[in-house]
């Protein structure tokens, strides 16, 4: 910025960039409504534009947008998503979900993760990369599936089944990802005993942290007046979860999900906190998607091309086979379900990209390739996914 006649402080630069990102998101919303393009894809493309400008025009390959502010914003957005997902796991919803949704969902999750992991290992990719992408492949974008199903007006069993699966699918993804990261830490460490303790702490510590924050929050929620006090409570929960999980070295996604689940099941007025977070969630998600795209290392795109293509094809194969197995296991309802139902669960967005950022931080050697593969595949799955949902419903 040497051409600017007056100096810009880092704080002023960060504030201006935040304002510009939010302003661009308004334009992306308008484009998405008029073209039916996924707004998530548009925001990621904005981030890719930032990466191109920095790395190709300014020739700053190591520059990070917003410097140290980007990481906390991404962490807060991920914790918000996980907290809201935990709120979906109520006893009432799980009873209403029924065995059919659990059967198909677990089939798609298990077969899909196995297909991606085993396939990448067979193609010669490193263990850390294969297991990370296998766990990331589990996550689905519920918004894309829900919007497509509602737009179709379909109320048959297949439509209700899809809505039930995507309501809990990302929760499976967080659990699988937490187990995968802990397992990789143990498998790749030279000291098995220390690694096992670290893996146990990452998962067990997350459960303890989620419980330690969730129980008092469940008691407090509903005792505060609706409005500003509840909003302050909701923001305090998110910031405490994000900060303490980072400090203690535990899974922030799992801790936030446990907290949300406890509040949803133990508090009579739990919807107040979740509603307040839903009201403020989108600006943080805007930062998250744009910064995720801007984090892409363009120099690694060529070497990540093979990984990206393999991941896309293996994930599609895993979804098809998982859905087919789930329909076969459904037995008495088999005739009402399409065999290709797994294809309707291909959209992939925020949770998957968040997992990729966490995995890249955990395994920096493979970080650039992992992030490139997930960002590129997200653009493909977010564009292709709604069309596949339509196909399955037809």
Main-chain phi, psi angles of 125, to 5 degrees: -80, 150
Domain ranges of the chain: 14-67, 70-393
Write out the two tokens for 111: 């077969």
Instruction: Supply the pLDDT for residue 224.
Output: 58
pLDDT band at 186 (very low <50, low <70, confident <90, very high): confident
Q: Percent of the chain scored above 70 by pLDDT?
A: 83
Closest by CA position to 315, among listed 91, 35, 113: 113
**What average pLDDT does range 11-17 have in this prediction?**
76
Closest by CA position to 353, among listed 370, 366, 340, 334: 370
Cα gap 167→98, rounded to integer Å: 13
Longest dimension (CA), the chain: 74
The single residue listed with the structure tokens 């702490």 is 201
Cα gap 169→120, rounded to integer Å: 22
Find the helix packing angle between 127-136 and 350-362, rounded to 10°.
160
**What average pLDDT does range 28-53 have in this prediction?**
78
Contact 151, 124 (CB under 8 A): no
Q: Looking at the domain 70-393, which fold is it?
A: Na+/H+ antiporter like fold (1.20.1530)
Instruction: Supply the pLDDT for residue 314.
Output: 93
Write out the two tokens for 274: 């979740």
**Does residue 225 or residue 261 have the better pLDDT?**
261
Average pLDDT, the chain: 78
Q: Is the pLDDT reported for residue 97 higher than 60?
A: no
Instruction: Supply the pLDDT for residue 317.
Output: 92
Write out the two tokens for 217: 């929050």
What tens digit of pLDDT does each residue of 210-251 get?
899 888 888 877 665 555 556 777 788 889 998 998 888 887
Give 214-281 as a DSSP string.
HHHHHHHTTTSPTTHHHHHHHHHHHHHHHHHHHHHT--HHHHHHHHHHHHHHH-TTTHHHHHHHHHHH
Q: Which of 28-42, 232-246, 363-377 is predicted with the least confidence, judged by mean pLDDT? A: 28-42
Instruction: Supply the pLDDT for residue 163.
Output: 72
Q: Is the pLDDT reported for residue 3 higher than 60?
A: no
Give whichever of 21-25, 83-87, 197-201 has the largest mean pLDDT: 21-25
Cα gap 102→88, rounded to integer Å: 15
**Does residue 336 or residue 218 have the better pLDDT?**
218
Q: Is the pLDDT reported for residue 1 higher than 70?
A: no
- Name the pTM for this structure: 0.77
**What average pLDDT does range 73-99 have in this prediction?**
75
Q: Which of 22-31, 76-85, 327-336 is predicted with the least confidence, judged by mean pLDDT? A: 327-336
**Does residue 208 or residue 47 have the better pLDDT?**
208
């Amino acid at each position: 910025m040497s051409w600017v006649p007056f100096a810009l402080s880092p704080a002023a630069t960060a504030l201006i960039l935040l304002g510009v990102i939010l302003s661009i998101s308004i334009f992306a919303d308008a484009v998405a409504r008029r073209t039916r393009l996924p707004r998530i894809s548009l925001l990621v493309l904005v981030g890719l534009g930032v990466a191109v400008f920095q790395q190709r025009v300014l020739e700053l390959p190591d520059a990070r947008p917003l410097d140290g502010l980007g990481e906390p914003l991404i962490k807060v957005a991920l914790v918000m998503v996980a907290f809201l997902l935990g709120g979906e796991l109520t006893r009432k919803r799980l009873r209403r979900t029924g065995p059919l949704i659990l059967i198909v969902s677990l089939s798609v999750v298990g077969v899909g993760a196995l297909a991606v992991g085993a396939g990448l290992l067979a193609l010669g990719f490193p263990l850390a990369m294969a297991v990370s992408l296998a766990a990331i492949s589990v996550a689905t974008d519920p918004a894309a599936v829900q919007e497509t199903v509602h737009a179709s007006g379909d109320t048959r069993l297949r439509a209700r089944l899809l809505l039930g699966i995507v309501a809990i699918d990302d929760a499976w993804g967080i659990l699988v990802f937490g187990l995968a990261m802990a397992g990789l830490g143990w498998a790749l460490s030279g000291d098995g005993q220390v690694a096992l303790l670290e893996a146990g702490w990452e998962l067990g510590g997350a459960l303890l942290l989620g419980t330690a924050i969730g129980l008092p929050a469940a008691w407090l929620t509903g005792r505060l007046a609706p409005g500003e006090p509840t909003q302050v409570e909701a923001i305090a929960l998110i910031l405490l979860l994000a900060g303490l999980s980072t400090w203690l070295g535990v899974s922030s996604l799992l801790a936030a999900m446990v907290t949300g689940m406890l509040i949803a099941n133990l508090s009579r007025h739990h919807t107040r906190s979740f509603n307040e977070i839903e009201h403020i969630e989108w600006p943080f998600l805007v930062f998250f998607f744009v910064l995720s795209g801007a984090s892409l290392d363009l120099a690694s795109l060529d070497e990540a091309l093979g990984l990206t293509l393999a991941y896309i094809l293996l994930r599609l194969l895993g979804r098809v086979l998982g859905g087919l197995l789930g329909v076969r296991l459904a037995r008495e309802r088999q005739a009402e379900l399409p065999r290709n139902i797994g294809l309707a669960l291909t959209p992939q967005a925020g949770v998957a990209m968040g997992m990729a950022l966490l995995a890249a931080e955990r395994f920096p050697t493979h970080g650039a390739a992992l992030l490139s593969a997930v960002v590129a595949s997200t653009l493909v799955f977010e564009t292709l996914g709604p069309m596949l949902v339509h196909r399955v419903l037809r």
